[in-house]
Amino acid sequence: MENLKKYIGEINDFPKEGIVFKDINPIYKEPKIWNQLMLPLQNLISSTKPDYIAGIESRGFISASALAFKLDIGFIPIRKPNKLPGEVIGLNYKLEYGEDRLEIQKNSFKQKSKIILIDDLLATGGTAGTAGNLIREAGGKLIGYAFLVELTELNGRKNLDSNLIIESIIKY
Ligand code: AMP
């Protein structure tokens, strides 16, 4: 997958100073390239047979919902605060500076449903770790996490459950 790196832009100091933002958007404009990147995730999902694919707002929705639609599997959105209607379960988590929060709709799936979590990129792992905990709090059986891109030097895997599947396709 090294050949796909040329389709990923790098923007310095976005969204804030010190961050080198990996811009995956050029890949989404090239269906053949996007397909190449998604194929290993499709295979992973086809072999692990989750009941649902959960995606994290907002960049995670792009690939998670595309995979769910393609593979005929239900999609569960994990969202930023105050976006989901009805009863929700939420968890706060620490960012480098400050705090954030993710929410999931209560009773939105059958208890113990097998769920795989998809996000675009694994950095420190705070977001995916929290989203995974949220799925469990809502009664789901989390089976793993999958990412298009992983920034390995940030060791985000330490914030994920190492007993589960942790897959990333392009590693920096
Ligand atoms: P983290 O919680 O640190 O693992 O951050 C993961 C989330 O933040 C993902 O949903 C990414 O969309 C976004 N993110 C964090 N760092 C970057 C980066 N360097 N480039 C692009 N997106 C990033």
Q: What is the CATH number of the domain that holds 86?
A: 3.40.50.2020
pLDDT at 141 over 80: yes
- Which residues on neighbouring strands pair with residue 24, listed in sequence order? none
Specify if 106 maps to a domain: yes
Segment 4-30 shows an average pLDDT of 96
Q: How remote is the CA of residue 50 from the centroid of ligand 1, in Å?
A: 24
pLDDT at 147 over 80: yes
Specify if 102 maps to a domain: yes
For the stretch 51-91, pLDDT in tens is 999 999 999 999 999 999 999 999 999 999 999 999 999 99
Q: How remote is the CA of residue 43 from the centroid of ligand 1, in Å?
A: 24
Contact 122, 151 (CB under 8 A): yes
Kindly compute the dihedral angle of the four CA atoms of residues 165, 168, 171, 172, in this order, to the nearest 10 degrees.
-90
Nearby residues of 49 by Cβ (< 8 Å), 6 or more positions away: 114
136 is catalytic: no
Q: How remote is the CA of residue 39 from the centroid of ligand 1, in Å?
A: 22
Query: Which residue among the candidates 10, 30, 96, 137 is catalytic per the annotation?
Result: 96
N-to-C CA span, the chain: 11
Specify if 60 maps to a domain: yes
Specify if 22 maps to a domain: no
Q: What pLDDT is recorded for position 95?
A: 84
Segment 103-123 shows an average pLDDT of 97
Task: Give me the amino acid identity at 42.
Answer: Q
139: left (phi over 0), alpha (psi -120 to 50) or beta: left
The reported pTM is 0.97
Number of separate domains in the chain:
1
